[in-house]
Structure 1
């Protein structure tokens, strides 16, 4: 299921349309839904819920997985990471979201965009500390009991503080901890802009933007998004 823009952007357009044309918000939403080929906004929402890949991604994960979730800006990688956490919370997992990019208010707005699937988000452990690095993530994970899923937003920002180990060492530490503890760790990743210039259909490991060397074979699974399509693969 492909939309012309992510849902949160369509909602923003609907709010602007509502204000500029003086029509109710629900009418603006229905108009945009019709432009996307749906009978109404509720029809779009229903179909979107059916098409969401988070459930099948979670079902495919195994304890100890280190997952790379990559896409170019605006293709929904952060929203998918949050949705994956909500699905895990619904299964009784502990869910932790580490972000060096968003504020708490930003994250809560994104959760609203998920709609009913975010009903479990009240149990989400949200960490926006400037100290986020591999050791910080591992320390927080060590404090929870039972199965846990952590999402890091995002991989490249772990490399911005020179007081922390190089990114390659941090990925090695995350891989080792996931493997020994059974936790699942998902690192959201930027994709190099050269991917857009190449015009390829779906990014891959060779398109991951790396400011410094990282052994990407440490990731046991990859999940790439582009234009509404999702590809999940086991590496190695």
Structure 2
């Protein structure tokens, strides 16, 4: 099933439609579903859930993997990162989400956006939204993490924003070593450069990753890119 936009974008479209036309949200959701060629929103949501790209990506990951997850704003990369943590927790592993971008409330709101209940995972889920996140900070928090823990970092380009943090290359190397040594899966959410033009290139790739500071992208084992409801996963 190919949608014109990710589910969160379609939901925002429905909310705007509901306000503009002064109609109930459920009616607006059904109208958006109809514009996608699907009879109703509940059917659209069910079909989308059946082919969640996070489940496909998770099935291809193994302990020790270092993964880059990239997309332009509004394409659902943060939601997919959170979904990967949920997939790990569903299989009995821990999920740790480190974000320099969102507050705790915003992350919990995104649990609801992906249809997950934070409470059901108990101590399996760990959220860190402090402003001191760095590779060293993550390594400290993951010192006793069991093998198979899913570590999601939101996002790559903010890691060395503080002058007293090591260079981005050093931090990514440290996180790669952490993943290898402890058997963790480290997923780094990444921005895509503004020069990327979806009108001329349907899907971004490693050459479109925004790199304000030098970084060898071969430090990653796998890469996943999102654009216009499509997902591309490949080895680096």
**Conserved? CA contact 1:147–1:182, under 8 Å:** yes
Kept after mapping to 2: 8 A contact 1:86/1:118? no
Q: Go from structure 1 to structure 2 and tell me whether the alpha carbon gap of 1:121 and 1:83 turns closer, same or farther (over 3 Å shift).
A: farther
TM superposition score normalised by structure 1: 0.92
Paired residue secondary structure (1:73): coil
Question: Does 2:5 align with 1:35?
Answer: no
Residue 87 of structure 2: aligned partner: 87
Contact 1:33 1:44 in 2 (8 A): yes
* 1:51 correspondence with 2:51: yes
Q: Secondary structure at the match of 1:152?
A: strand
Please say which of residues 20-29 and 50-59 is displaced more in the overlay.
20-29
Matched, 1:12 2:8: no
Does the 8 Å CA contact 1:87/1:117 hold for their aligned counterparts? Answer: no
Unpaired segments ≥5 residues, structure 2: none
Residue of structure 2 in register with 1:210 after alignment: 211
CA-atom RMSD, angstroms? Answer: 1.9
TM-superposed CA distance for 1:146, in Å, is 3.9
Deviations 1:174-194 (A, max 9, x none): 011111111010000111111
Cα distance change of structure 1 residues 19 and 205 upon mapping to structure 2, 3 Å threshold: closer
**TM-score (normalizing by structure 2):** 0.92
Alignment partner of 1:62 is 2:59: no
Residues 30-179 of structure 1: matches in 2 within 5 Å? 30-116=30-116, 120=120, 122=122, 123-179=124-180
Greater helix share, structure number? 1
